[in-house]
Structure 1
Amino acid sequence: MIMFQIWNIIMETLDQLVEILGDQKVSSEGFYRILESGFSSLEVGMIPTTLDQVLVGDIRRSKSQDVRALFVVGCNDGILPSGRQEEGLLAAEERDMLCSMGMDLGGSTELLSAEERFGIYTAFCKPSHFLSVSYAVSDAEGRALRPSILMDRLKKLFPRLEITGDRHVDTEPLMRIVTPKSTFPHMVCHMRSLADGKPESDLWWLVYDWYFRHPAWEKRRQDLEKALFYRNQEAPLGRDKAAGLYSLPIRASVSRLEQYVHCPFSHFIKYGLRPGERKQYAVEAPDIGELFHQSIEGFTAEVAEEGLDWRTLDDEKCGAMIDKIMDRILPEHNHGVLLSTHRYQYLAKRLKRTGKRAVWLLTDHIRRSSFRPIGNEISFGTRGTYPPIEIELPGGERMYLEGRIDRADIYREGEDAYLSVVDYKSGTESFDLSDAYYGLKLQLLVYLEALLEMEQRKINGKARPGGIFYFRIDDPLINTQEQVADVIQGEIRKKLKLKGLVLKDVHVVQCMDRDINGYSEVLPLGIKKDGTFHSRSSVLEEEQFFRLLGHIRRLIRDIGDEMLHGNIRIEPVRKGKETACRFCPYDGICQFDSRLEDNGYRLIHPLKDKEVLRKIEEDDRKPT
């Protein structure tokens, strides 16, 4: 209608020019002025089709005059104002630089943003009576959306402004039924509630019937049905399949047993299907741990080759040795990744410093102890220095345990031998008797069992447990005002104190730490003046040690039996807030979801040490 009026006005104006000027010639500038004068006096009028009208348009393009009420919808982050993304070959800085040099590139980034802000400002100022600004909390697929920064600015301008929602309660299901696309997510939620046995309106069955009768929605409807009745669980493989998959006899490491306890399905993926993870050219936590193991192994081997005495090794000598060893290891370790960038080279320097701290602490422990190292990286297994631990399973099959002990120490008294196991850890590892009882941490106890068996074959007396320890490799920061070296070193010893269990024998403890006075700087215990142990000491009687080892044997036998029965349940362990899924690389395969009916954690209830020992004693009394 408006365009029709404009056309007629132009034609009438040109007709008037012909009548007035006739054949008279005028310049282009004069002709322009005549037209400008003629058009400026004219108006375009339009009778409204209704008394009221609603204009719908983009806030950037709507150029209407003042309105009585304005509704701004979709005021979400990245939409209003738009989240401008760099497109094309030129970055924002490059565009701005070229624009400042006079090139026309459609405006600089700053100018475009300013124009958009001005457009929003003028739009918000248009209404004379009412302004409504709304945003969506989720998209059509149910994904959460964030409100625009404009909402925060409005709240700052009008502190008493309240945000009200338009969510409808379930008593108004009709309000949720709009278009097929927007209604489908609502139907999914209500059908999920119906599948869970919750009461819902019968109206949603009619909605479902509509989708059922329209072929265009068949694929999404079938996906919905699969999701509603999905069961994310694995049936047992059966003994024959499991035996073929794992190969008999089973040869297992301790870490494999621990992984099975943490989640049978995770064990099945790693040791049954055996997918290979793509190795990245980067430094990860296991790489650092392996580097420390290699450096300490090289250090102890060099001490043995040169015939050095641990008691006479000084800090300077230890530092020079570890520098030489790590300089040899770094170019070879993981294809020399630690020398590939300046960042990694700095990390390598820090690792050297930590390695020096580790060997200082290692030699300090050995100086203070009457226990002597009998070996490092001691392997037991089919191809090891010593034979594997043999476990007979309930079905008559055999399981062989294999492993590598970081360090073993011995103290001889007459024909008897006291043995301790030390495992190097670059993280903050601690020993918990409750975790050992459930099978979550078996390493130290299995290694002690292997060491006792090895030594018992060599001596006429009895091989006795001395202790099991985690040796932490770290270079801790010490918070102290003291500047005396001995005081600082004492604080470092306390920070890096061994974690584990010690034989409850004062004489043996004093042999492990000859400098003990009250609480030990080396061992996780303390001795009172009357010769008894402090209540917080991590100690066990010899009988309790052997009972604990017996429990571990029974536990391993049960684990092996479950493996051979083909149990591959998706059932990760949960202890407090920690779950087996936290660092599991197979979460994309198992698709574990605790909200599903048949997916649930195996809850571990932590036990106190006394409860663990009582339960083990009760198990010992049960008939086999």
Structure 2
Amino acid sequence: MAEKVRKNLVEPLVKFREDIKDKTGREITEKLYNLLEQLEVTNAVSQMFDKLKADGEIAQAKEQIRLWNLLIGTLDQTVAVAGDLKISLKRYFELLSLRLSALQIADIPRTVDSVSVGTATRVRLNNEKAVFLIGCIDGVFPAVPSASGLFSAYELKTLIANNLPFGDEPAELADFENYMAYKSATAPSQKLFVSFYKTDLTGGTYMQSSIINEIIAVFPNILLHREEEYCSVADSTWAILPAFEECARNFNSDSNEERALKKYFSENEIFKDKYSAVANASKAKPFVFDDKSNVGLLFGNDLNISASQVEKFSLCRFSYFCNYGMNVRERRKAEINPLEYGTFIHYIMEVFFSKYSKNEFSNMSEDEINKECDSILDDYVNKHFGGSQKNTPRFMYRFNKIRENVHFLVLHIIEELKNSGFEPVDCELKIDGDIPGYEVVLPTGQKILLRGSVDRVDILKKGEENYIRIIDYKTGPKEFKLSDILYGLNLQMLIYLYAITLGGEERYGKVTPAGILYMPATVKPISADNTISDEQINEQVSKGLKMNGMLLNSLDVIDNSDAAYISFNTKNGTLTAGGSLASLEELGMIFKKLDMTVAKMGATLYSGNVEASPLKGGKDSCEYCPYDSICAYHMSDCRNSFSLKNDEVCRILEEEQENGGEE
């Protein structure tokens, strides 16, 4: 049903967007009216009118017709302004919005004994018994006029002096504002109530208006009420929504008023579910599924997830539940960035290293490599963006800057491979596609299948050994720390390597895991003066492109890993065990830790435990979390992470696995 509604709504909108390109104001307006007809807005307004009329809501029924007529009138006025001139969609939107924002709607009081609500400029005050002036804030009522629109205050004054009154000048507006404030304050025959607010929901502070100061000056003995004089419970119970808010605010109170409110809302059909939610929240009870069968309804009996989701679950279970269980996603500004740098990098690396073998690109000149890169990038632009001729100069400038970075990056990678025994064999390898996915079976029989995509797979063949290392291109900073795996972090590349080790034999032969490396894919700018040579500049840039990660502590792997391209501890230019090197036995413990972490994730999730217990320390999982306003993680204890040396991590893993996985 939801998909049908979405389709019926989105398809006409997409067609409308295409139809109004390069059109006149009149044509866009006609298309907009046709869209309203296609979406049956007129029928909906008519049906709403009939329903309200049948329910006795005559005034509201007539209001719908008035609003529709105002909209049609606004479209007519827009045509009168734009006419047959070609106009951009953005400009048309601005004109239509300007007209709509200028609309004002008011109702004439229908009875003699009634309450009229409106702005001071719209309400007709005629010997009223009582008047309430609400929101008397300094600069708001009376308002401080300001010149807006096309003309400045000086220009408006000049135009008026030349008999061209395009608008009132600020001085006249100021007089009018003061007059309206005086008229409103002197309108009642019996009682005048004046109020203002000190703060708003955003935390802004406000001062009382000059009108309040003048009233106090005229009537020095006038009764002033302070906010602390009012009883919030008694004042809130005049309306049901404020009463419920008051009930929730003082839920743990045992006053007679609170007990009465609790009894009422616990039995109210509309509010009883909300009341139960407030009651649960007041108990500081972690988020847990009361009915475990609901976990299966949200996540399925088996999990098929990306490797990165394991880390997201480890960072915060509640955030994971909101994102992947409830599908509550952060609202983002709708925008398209066609020149996404990371996309270009992955595309050119995949095409180039899939097209040429190591022997072939090792014998290519720099000009040949650059020309091939240019050809690949030009094909990409032609395929996805209509070619360079159809793009703006700004687009092509950014594109050419990326082209320069790509040249240097590809040459750097080729140099590293020429000085290494490793050779690229796969780009964008699909885990659970090209090779089997990594699967963990829970004691309950449920399965967790992990999938993903490996940027590049390199192989080193030494006798019967097929050493496999995997490379991940990173456009941002990335530092590998082995201690992260103790907290379920930075597992993605290790999961990929483990998956290849388990299921890559058919594709690569018997696999020996050789390590994971993160490679910077952005050429960082450097500071240099005119005395530095090109060779020195290239050397400094290359330092910023050094890979980091973890390698197998094997002579075969170390001898084929150049310290000039990999950030590890070195001695006499050779990698040493002080860096992120791991033996096969230690890699085995790390892989077993992966099994335990994924199994623990599954067991925790299927037990219904999605408490908000965020990870703090080296990485604050709450820093950019879109759910921080609803999680109330203070009801649970946060978890802290610490950075440890590799040998300490291995000792902890060994003890943990000797104890059967108990942390």
- Displacement of 1:236: 2.3
Match of 2:568 in 1: 525
Check whether the contact 1:525–1:533 (CA below 8 A) recurs between aligned residues: yes
Residue 159 of structure 1 is matched in structure 2 by none
- Secondary structure of the 1:479 match is coil
The question of 1:538 aligning with 2:575 is answered: no
Residue correspondence of structure 1 range 199-278 to structure 2 within 5 A? 229=279, 231=281, 234-236=287-289, 240-243=293-296, 245-274=298-327
2:523 corresponds in structure 1 to: 475
Q: Output one character per residue of 1:202-240: Cα deviation in whole Å (capped at 9) or x when no partner.
A: 9xx58879999999xx99999997886462964327554
Rate the CA distance shift 1:274–1:332 in 2: closer, same or farther, 3 A: farther
Q: Which whole-Å deviations, capped at 9, do the CAs of 1:294-334 have from their partners, x for residues lacking one?
A: 22212222325xx8623233443333222222222235549
CA distance in 2, matches of 1:150, 1:528: 74
Q: Distance in 2 between matches of 1:193 and 1:439?
A: 37
What is the match of residue 82 of structure 1? 144
Relative to the length of structure 1, the TM-score reads 0.64
CA distance in 2, matches of 1:150, 1:337: 59
* 1:369 partner SS: coil
Output one character per residue of 1:325-351: Cα deviation in whole Å (capped at 9) or x when no partner: 222223554999997665544443333
Number of the residue aligned with 1:567:
608
User: How far is the alpha carbon of 1:422 from its aligned partner?
Assistant: 0.4
Q: Aligned partners of 2:342 and 2:637: how far apart in 1?
A: 30
CA contact (8 A) 1:77 1:147 kept: no
Structure number, greater radius of gyration = 1
Q: 1:403 to 1:438 in 2, by over 3 A?
A: same
TM-superposition CA deviations, 1:384-432 (whole Å, max 9, x none): 2222223222223333322221111122222123221101122222222
Matched residues in 2 for 1:220 and 1:338: separation? 61
Q: Name which of 596, 603, 623 aligns with 1:554.
A: 596
CA, structure 1 residues 417+167, in 2 after alignment: closer, same or farther (shift >3 Å)?
farther
CA distance in 2, matches of 1:475, 1:213: 66
Residue pair 2:243, 2:261 contacting (<8 A) in 1 also: no
1:135 shift after superposition: 9.5
Q: Which moved more, 1:499-508 or 1:405-414?
A: 499-508
Q: Does 1:282 align with 2:331?
A: no
Structure 1 residues 173 and 546: CA distance shift in structure 2, 3 A: same
| C-alpha distance 324-394 of structure 1, shift in aligned 2 (>3 A) | same
Residues 271 and 214 of structure 1: CA distance in aligned 2, closer, same or farther (over 3 Å): closer
Output one character per residue of 1:448-496: Cα deviation in whole Å (capped at 9) or x when no partner. Answer: 1122234555788x63332211112112111234522222122112212
Q: Which has the higher contact order (CA 8 A, sep 6+)?
A: 1
Contact (CA 8 Å) 1:339, 1:348: kept in 2 or not? no
Question: Partners in 1 of 2:486 and 2:567 — Cα distance?
Answer: 20
Q: 3-state DSSP class of the match of 1:418?
A: strand
Contact 1:425 1:470 in 2 (8 A): yes
2:551 to 477, 492, 502: 502
The answer to which of 179-188 and 540-549 deviates more is 179-188
How far did 1:608 drift?
0.7
What whole-Å deviation, never above 9, does each CA across 1:186-213 have from its counterpart, x for those lacking one?
A: 999998886568xxxx9xx588799999
2:180 aligned with 1:144: no
Residues 379, 404 of structure 1: 8 Å contact kept = yes
Which amino acid is the alignment partner of residue 556 of structure 1? V
Matched residues in 1 for 2:333 and 2:359: separation? 40
Cα 1:214–1:511 change in 2 (3 A) is closer
Equivalent position SS for 2:460: strand
Match of 2:421 in 1: 370
Q: Deviations over 1:363-400 (max 9, x none)?
A: 2221221211121112231xx22222232222233333
1:238–1:566 CA contact under 8 A, matched in 2 = no
Q: Residue 349 of structure 2 contacts residue 427 of structure 2 at CA under 8 Å; is this kept in 1?
A: no
Q: What are the equivalent positions in structure 2 for 1:417-436 lying under 5 Å apart? A: 417-436=466-485
The residue identity in structure 2 corresponding to 1:620 is Q
Give the partner amino acid of 1:386: I
| C-alpha contact (below 8 Å) 2:422/2:458 kept by paired residues | yes
Query: What one-letter code is carried by the residue in structure 2 that aligns with 1:255?
Result: S
1:377-396 equivalences in 2 (<5 Å):
377-381=428-432, 384-396=433-445
Q: Conserved in 2, the CA contact under 8 Å of 1:375 and 1:408? A: yes
The amino acid of 1:619's aligned partner reads E
AA in 2 matched with 1:418: Y
Is the CA contact (8 Å cut-off) linking 1:76 and 1:147 kept in structure 2? yes
C-alpha RMSD of the superposition:
5.0
Find the aligned partners of 1:557 and 1:601 in 2 and give their Cα distance. 22
Gaps of 5+ in 2: 1-119, 121-134, 179-194, 211-223
SS of aligned partner of 1:423: strand
Task: Report how far residue 183 of structure 1 moved.
Answer: 12
In structure 1, C-alpha distance between the alignment counterparts of 2:388 and 2:633, rounded to whole Å: 39
1:608 aligns with 2:644: yes
Instruction: Mark the CA change 1:529 to 1:299 in structure 2 (over 3 Å): closer, same or farther.
Output: closer
- Give the TM-score taking structure 2 as reference length: 0.60
Q: Residue 211 of structure 1 contacts residue 221 of structure 1 at CA under 8 Å; is this kept in 2? A: no
Deviations 1:581-606 (A, max 9, x none): 55556x39x832346x4xx4642322
Q: Return 5+ residue gaps in structure 1 as ranges.
A: 1-57, 59-72, 118-133, 152-165, 514-519
1:361 maps to: 412
1:282 Cα deviation after fit = 2.9
Distance 1:336 1:109, change over 3 A: farther
Q: Secondary structure at the match of 1:562?
A: helix
Cα deviation for residue 136 of structure 1 reads 6.1
In structure 1, give the amino acid aligned to 2:599: R
Q: Deviations over 1:230-266 (max 9, x none)?
A: 6296432755444454445433220232333233344
The answer on whether the counterparts of 2:430 and 2:453 sit within 8 Å (CA) in structure 1 is yes
Paired AA for residue 475 in structure 1: V
**C-alpha separation between the residues in 1 aligned to 2:612 and 2:538?**
45
